[in-house]
Amino acid sequence: MREKTIEQKFRVAVKAAGDLALKFASPGFDVVPDRIVLLHGGKMAFVEVKTPGEKPRPLQLSRHRLLRWLGFKV
């Protein structure tokens, strides 16, 4: 299954639950997770979508560590 298909199914499932899974882009700050998820109750998470068996690139892992260090779920 392609990453795009997985990401689309994820977005639809989050929307069905009444929450938002927005495409995340950050001009001027390269390599951010694919989606920012906004949940009821003021909760937020970052989601990196990968096909089965695919692993995040080193810079992606670095960004994930930074976001976790700031207190966010990734």
**How far is residue 48's CA from residue 42's CA, in Å, rounded to a whole number?**
20
* CATH number for the domain that contains residue 15: 3.40.1350.10
- 30, 59 in Cβ contact below 8 A? yes
Looking at the 3D structure of the chain, how many domains does it have? 1
More confident residue, 58 or 1: 58
What's the pLDDT tens digit per position in 11-39? Answer: 999 999 999 999 988 999 989 999 999 99
Q: What is the mean pLDDT of residues 1-9?
A: 93
Alpha carbon 43 to its chain centroid, in Å, reads: 14
| Single pTM value for the model | 0.83
| Structural domain boundaries, residue 62 | 3-69
Q: 38 Cβ partners below 8 Å, 6+ apart? A: 19, 20, 22, 44
In a domain, 74, yes or no: no
